[in-house]
Structure formats: structure tokens, C-alpha cells
Amino acid sequence: MLHAAFLRSPHAHARIAAIDTSAARAAPGVAAVMTGRELARHHSAWVGTLAHHPATRSAPQHALAVDRACWHGEPVAVVAAESRAAAEDAVDLIRVEWEPLPAIADPEAALAPGAPLIHPELGSNVAYERQVAAGDVAAAFATAHAVVEENFRFGRHTAVSLEPRGLVAAFAPAEPRLTLYHSGQSPHQLQALFARVLNLPEQQIRVVNRDVGGGFGLKLNVFGDEVATAVLAILLRRPVKFIADRLEAFASDIHAREHVTRARMGVDANGTITALEIDDIAAIGPYAAYPRSSVSESNMVLNLTGTQYRIANYHARARVVLQNKSLIAQLRGVGLPVAMAICERMVDKAAAALGQDPAEIRRRNLVPDDAYPCVSVTGARFDELSHHACLDKLLALMDYAALRREQAALRARGIHRGIGLATYVEGTGPGPATYGPGAPISAQDGATLRLDPSGAVVCASGLAELGQGADTMLAQVVAGAVGVAPEMVRVITGDTDATPYGGGAWGSRGTATGGAAAWRSGRALRDNILAVAGVLLQSPPDALDIRGGAVVSAGSGEARLSLADLAATIYYRGYELPKDLQPELMVTRHYRLTDNGYFFVNGIQASYLELDPDTGMVRLLKHWAVEDCGRIVNPLLVDEQLRGGIVQGLGAALLEHCAYDAAGQLCNGTLADYHVPMAAEMPDIVCGHVETPSLLSPLGAKGVGESGIIAAPAAVLNAVNDALLPFGASVAETPITPRVLLRALGRIED
């Protein structure tokens, strides 16, 4: 096996005037050195646009930079050598003559008149623009009792997955076939994408994603260094391994959340929201990411901001701009943490302007629980939501009134604590129309079940296991559907050769979509088993049931025939069966959401924290979350998915930020400088649930994987501002670092 290492651009924007690889080619242990121009002969360029967003504009991308590097960290050349150390030593011998070009780092600067164009052929740095409007916003603001405004700035952050991106590419010329052992989230999608960029038929590519150490949306995208690794494996006829180290990950992984947003909200004298207006500028790097594009964050902001409330007058504009930083694409929550932070902060500001309690103004404006199904002002269709039930449960869970009394008493003693609430909505388990035609993104899932001679069940699913517990959930669902113990179910995921076609892991779709397919398949297998058992036992199938791994009498529960005996009869003693009986103990069923674009879920979170005005430090004291993800299949997995998302959201609120200077240089690309939440910094997180089964799924389950991160930043933002009230100060920027707070308090100046 060979190991790949990459030369990456030290500039945010520079032309490659010349590149000399002769010394690297002659270095010990080196098997190949390739530049972008050389590698481009062996793959097709890609463009990160979607057919159902035709207004999106992006330039073609290559595995390695050709002629020009557009962000700090873009791969420029690759070395394959006998070891990673030898490959890195050879990379150091590559000489590049750079011609620096003007770099754009700030989103607003990309829109300024006369700003340098990153891709002159596009004629603008605007990659996408869209507006959503309903009602008469101007009239509503003109007649509002109070109007509140805010300018938000949301900092970039990235996934920091436990396992970095990586793959081993192995090409078998005799077949011919390329196998990718890949740290990814969606094996069938990756198979289709690599087929496209490598110009190979899909059946000549196998993708294996096994026990992946976290994804969060990061590992759904095409990355140039991974394509280059596959090309080298094909050309050299040897396996090639590439594992991104942490320095490479920070510079080359996709990022998320860089938004500059202006918002206005109008309310009447009672606190009813009369109008909401937002203007969002989102930066995405120099290209739109492939294949899911980079416009989803902005569209989520436009489509779902404020939709938990009854708002008749709404206007939102989004502009997605190009810049010289690493690409931005889907990351856990996909724009919804921004959408909820905007809306929830505006609701708190409106409450303060009217002298109302933040909980009560929410109660006044939330869509009633008996109003469903309904369509939001932005056109989103909602079914079976429970905002008021969740609010009531949260206030009881945290003892809101007592907490307010404690806060007031401590404030009188000079201890500044804040309480922040944040409601949310989220679309989970996206349906087939989410990405439209063109992109090979599957929104359906399949499950193949087989009864083994031992009486155990093998389940092959199109899902992927990233540590979120998909395998456990599938075993539980199949066990319940068939009638066996979960330990009698063996689950196979993450292999395009062994599983039915499916979407993998993204969009909180595991239980909602993959679990629904497994349930349908399990019920079909159960019916087939009972049909055969009815013949063998000379009993009507509807008089039989499967419990504890045996066929039993439905009424009495008396065991009649073990599944092991039944399977052995079919597989080994078929001569005992009637000639007209053809048993089917292997079934495949699929599921796709057909009646809506998403399973919508909702919930509410609260943060309790303490602020030190002298140091700007924030100490998280406790966090509460109440969510409604439909029927809960596995309570432990639901709680821990919720907590995990909350921790990521708390990191985004207070710590995590990909900091760039004005020249587009990444300034904190190590874990010594990019701060992630640690266990000692995190508060106790109390989880509660409202369970409203979905009518769109045979399981009644929705999704929960992203719920935690969606409201946590908003809750912290509101809690910090609540603590700042005695000082007459406020913040509207994340992460809320000590510098941000001390600047807001007037203690320091930038």
C-alpha cells in the first residue's frame, strides 16, 4: 500500500506561475507525484449546483488546483510514497512560484462595489439570491406598537469529527473494480459521485463505510484530496491510503454558519408578532460544494425562520456570496441554528420592549397544538407539532418561576445570571423532492431481511453507522416487527455490495426513513414465516404469532415451532414441504416519505448561566431540552443524540470559530487554538419529551439527530443577553467569547 500526502496552498488566492516536482519525484520511496493539471486528465471536473436551484452559480472544481488556488489549504499537488513520512518529506521538496491575487475574506466585502471577482467569468461574487414574501410587511411595521431591530454575525465553525476524513482506495484491474474503504456517511451516494468524476460505471465501484467515527454532514461531500487518492490507486494499480491530519482537516474540511444578518420584528401592544423581516448574507468559500450545493443554509433561514409562530407578514432575502476561504456546506442543523437564533433573539427583544416575560410572549405567539395540519407563512406544511405542550413541560421541568426568583435574588447580590429560552422547528427525514433531479442523492431507504437456519435474522440496510446508534435501532425495530429478541438480529450497513440502495446517514433520517423500511421488511418476513408455519402446523396463519423467536398460538401464547426448526425444515428438508409451497424467507422492502417534504419536529430549550462582567467569562450552569420527535423507539439513543447535539450547539455559541485574517489566512487551525467543548465545561443537560406519533410513517417516528444543536445557540444567546440586562448591554454575535462580551460591556475596544 502507498500513502498520499498533499501540498496545500499557503495563500488564500494565488496564481500558480510554475511548479517544479523534479526533486520530489527523485525522493526515496516515492511512487508518483502529480500536479493539478496532470491529475485533471484522469477525472472530470464537477460543479456544485442543483437543478432545482437553477439560479445557483459556481465554477468548475478539480481534485487539485489548476493554475490558481482559491483558499488557504486547497490541495495543489499530491505525492504517493511507501510511507506517509516519505510522502510528506517529498511534498516539502515541491517548489511553486506563486503570484498572489487579491483575497476576499469578509462576506460584506464580497458584495462591495468594485470588489475583486473570485471567478470573473461569473460576473459577480453572488452565487445565489432568493426572496420569500408574504402579507404586507411595510404596512405591518408602520402600524406596529413596537419595532425591534438587530444586526447579527454568526462565526464559522466546522465538524471536528472524532475520526478525520480518510480512505483507502484499492483498484483490481482484473475485474476491473475500484473499492473505497471510506470514512463517509452515504455509501451509495459516494459510489455514484465517484463514478461520475472518475468516468467509471457505478457497478465498477464498491464503497465500504464501516463504523465511521462521526460525520455531522462533513462526510457527504466530494473532496479533491479523496478524488486524487482514488485516481492514484487506478493509475498505479496499488492501494493508496489518505488520512487527513488535524491541520489538514481544519484547512480543507467543509465549514458552516458564516452569516451576517439584519432583522426587524414588529409587535402590537399585547405582544402579538405582526411582522418579521430578515436580510441574510451567507458566505460559502470560492465554490459551491458538490453534490448538495452550498445554498441549503440560506434556504433554511428563509424557509423556517419564525415558522413556529403565527406570523402573517414576512419578508426575507438571502444572498450567498463567494469568498477565499474553505468551502461551506451542510453541517448538523444546516442553517437552522442561525434561523432559530435570529427569531428567538428578536422575540426576546420584543418582550423586553413591552416589559413582558419571555415565556409568556412565546405562549401568546406559538402556533396552537390543535391547529395542525397547517401551512406556515413561508409555505412549509406542518403536521402533528406540539409547541405549547413542549413549552409547558419545559417550564415545569426547570421550575421556571423559582429560577426567576433565584436569579433576581442573586442579581441583588451582584451575581449576574441569565435564563434563555429558544423554541425550534426542524425538518427531518427529507423526502425525494428535497434535492430534486440531477444530484445522486437518495431520500429512500431499503432493508433486506433473511431468516437464517439458526433462527436468527440478518438485516442489511441502506443506512450508515456513524456512532449515532443506527445499528442498534435497526436491530430493535426488526426484532419488534418479526418477533425475536434484538440480540438475534445481525445488522449490516455501509457496504454497497451487501445492502439495498439507500440514502445513508443525513438529515436525521435514520429511524424515520431507514427504520420505517426495516419495519416494513420485518412485517413482511413475519407474514411469510407465519404462512409457512400455518402449512407445517396445519393452522390458519392468523391464529399464529411469533414471540420470543418461536411460532406460538396467538391466543394462548403456547409455543408450537421454533424459528430454528422452521428454517431448518425449509432450508435442509424441503422434501417435507408440499410441492406447491415456495417459502420466501428473504424479503426486501423500501420506504420513502411521499406526503410532505419532511417529517417536521419541534421542541424548546432553556439555558441557565452565569456571567463574570470583569473577565467576560460565561459559566454554563444547567440546560434543559424538551422535544417531540414522534414515537420514541429507543429512549437512551434519543436522549444521547439530543445531548450530543446540544453540546455541539453550546460549542458554537461560546467557543468554536474558524478565525481568518483579512487576507484569508486561517489563524486557528489546531485544537490548541480552535476550542471545542470539554466535559468539565458542560452543564448537566436535562431531557424531556412530548410524544406525538407521525401519521406519515408506519413507525410513527420522526428524527432527532440534529434537534439538540438547532436551539442551543439561541438559548445561550438569550441567556447571555438576559444576564447583561443590568448593564444596558447586549450581544448579537456568536461565538460569544470573552472579547465579545467585554467589548459589549465597554471594557475593551477592538
Q: Per-residue DSSP letters for 647-668? A: HHHHHHHHT----B-TT--BS-
Is the pLDDT at 37 greater than 80, yes or no? Answer: yes
Is the pLDDT at 14 greater than 90, yes or no? Answer: yes
Residue 163, amino acid: E
**H-only helix segments in 314-434:** 336-354, 358-365, 387-398, 400-412
Q: How confident is the model at residue 439 (pLDDT cuts 50, 70, 90)?
A: confident
In terms of phi and psi (left: phi > 0; alpha: psi -120 to 50; beta: otherwise), the region of 510 is: alpha
From 324, 300, 311, select the one nearest 141 (Cα to Cα): 311
In terms of phi and psi (left: phi > 0; alpha: psi -120 to 50; beta: otherwise), the region of 218 is: alpha
Per-residue pLDDT, 364: 98
Residue pair 299/138 in contact (Cβ under 8 Å)? The answer is no
Per-residue pLDDT, 331: 96
Which helix (H) or strand (E) covers residue 643, if one does?
A: helix 635-654
Per-residue pLDDT, 405: 98
Spell out the residues 6+ positions from residue 573 whose beta carbon is closer than 8 angstroms to its own.
none
CATH of 2-101+162-214+218-252, one of 2.60.40.790, 2.40.160.40, 3.90.1170.50, 1.10.10.60: 3.90.1170.50
Q: For residue 586, what are the β-bridge partners? A: 450
From 340, 239, 255, select the one nearest 607 (Cα to Cα): 340
Per-residue pLDDT, 631: 97
Planar angle of CA 79, 290, 16, nearest 5 degrees: 45
Residue pair 451/484 in contact (Cβ under 8 Å)? The answer is no
Of the listed ranges 85-89, 434-438, 633-637, 716-720, the least confidently predicted one is 434-438
Helices (H) and strands (E) in the chain, counts: 19, 31
List, for residues 325-361, the tens digit of each pLDDT value. 999 999 999 999 999 999 999 999 999 999 999 999 9
List, for residues 189-209, the tens digit of each pLDDT value. 999 999 999 999 999 999 999
Per-residue pLDDT, 595: 86
Q: Per-residue DSSP letters for 133-170? A: EES-HHHHHHH-SEEEEEEEEE--EE---SS-SEEEEE
**Within 10 Å of residue 418's Cβ, how many Cβ atoms?**
23
Would you kindly state where each structural domain of the chain is located, as residue ranges?
2-101+162-214+218-252, 336-428+598-744, 444-591
Q: Per-residue DSSP letters for 180-212? A: EEE--S-HHHHHHHHHHHHT--GGGEEEE--S-
Planar angle of CA 133, 135, 141, nearest 5 degrees: 100
Per-residue pLDDT, 52: 81
From 325, 284, 318, 276, select the one nearest 301 (Cα to Cα): 318
List, for residues 245-283, the tens digit of each pLDDT value. 999 999 999 999 999 999 999 999 999 999 999 999 999
From 427, 426, 406, select the one nearest 417 (Cα to Cα): 406
539-550 mean pLDDT: 97
**Within 10 Å of residue 344's Cβ, how many Cβ atoms?**
28
122 phi/psi in degrees, rounded to 5: -85, -20
Q: How confident is the model at residue 54 (pLDDT cuts 50, 70, 90)?
A: confident
Spell out the residues 6+ positions from residue 293 whose beta carbon is closer than 8 angstroms to its own.
48, 49, 50, 53, 56, 58, 329
Give the count of alpha carbons within 13 A of 591, CB side only.
Answer: 26
User: What pTM does this model have?
Assistant: 0.97
Per-residue pLDDT, 113: 95
Residue pair 418/723 in contact (Cβ under 8 Å)? The answer is yes
**Within 10 Å of residue 689's Cβ, how many Cβ atoms?**
19
Q: How confident is the model at residue 517 (pLDDT cuts 50, 70, 90)?
A: very high
Alpha carbon separation from 149 to 141, 265, 346, 653, 725 (Å, rounded): 12, 7, 7, 21, 17
From 453, 523, 536, select the one nearest 488 (Cα to Cα): 453
Question: Cα separation of 224 and 246, whole Å?
Answer: 17
Mean of pLDDT over the chain: 97
Question: Cα separation of 150 and 264, whole Å?
Answer: 7
655-667 mean pLDDT: 97
Per-residue pLDDT, 434: 85
Q: How confident is the model at residue 740 (pLDDT cuts 50, 70, 90)?
A: very high
Planar angle of CA 542, 548, 554, nearest 5 degrees: 25
Alpha carbon separation from 627 to 283, 398, 687 (Å, rounded): 31, 14, 8
Spell out the residues 6+ positions from residue 495 whose beta carbon is closer than 8 angstroms to its own.
187, 206, 207, 208, 209, 210
List, for residues 63-101, the tens digit of each pLDDT value. 999 999 999 999 999 999 999 999 999 999 999 999 999
Question: Cα separation of 221 and 67, whole Å?
Answer: 23
Per-residue pLDDT, 573: 93
From 391, 263, 252, select the one nearest 316 (Cα to Cα): 263
Is the pLDDT at 16 greater than 90, yes or no? Answer: yes
Q: How confident is the model at residue 8 (pLDDT cuts 50, 70, 90)?
A: very high
List, for residues 348-395, the tens digit of each pLDDT value. 999 999 999 999 999 999 999 999 999 999 999 999 999 999 999 999
- Matching fold, domains 336-428+598-744 and 444-591: yes
Spell out the residues 6+ positions from residue 532 whose beta carbon is closer than 8 angstroms to its own.
566, 570, 581, 583, 585
Is the pLDDT at 438 greater than 90, yes or no? Answer: no
Is the pLDDT at 750 greater than 80, yes or no? Answer: no
Span 336-428+598-744: which CATH code?
A: 3.30.365.10
In the chain, what percentage of residues exceed pLDDT 70?
100
Q: For residue 605, what are the β-bridge partners? A: 422, 625
Question: Cα separation of 46 and 720, whole Å?
Answer: 43
Question: Cα separation of 74 and 8, whole Å?
Answer: 5
Which helix (H) or strand (E) covers residue 721, if one does?
A: helix 707-724
444-591 carries CATH number 3.40.920.10:
no
Question: Cα separation of 146 and 341, whole Å?
Answer: 20
Is the pLDDT at 433 greater than 90, yes or no? Answer: no
More confident residue, 439 or 236: 236
Which grid coordinates belong to 202?
A: 457505478
Is the pLDDT at 156 greater than 90, yes or no? Answer: yes
Planar angle of CA 16, 252, 153, nearest 5 degrees: 110
Q: How confident is the model at residue 436 (pLDDT cuts 50, 70, 90)?
A: confident
Residue pair 478/518 in contact (Cβ under 8 Å)? The answer is yes
Per-residue pLDDT, 53: 87
Per-residue pLDDT, 647: 98
Per-residue pLDDT, 437: 83
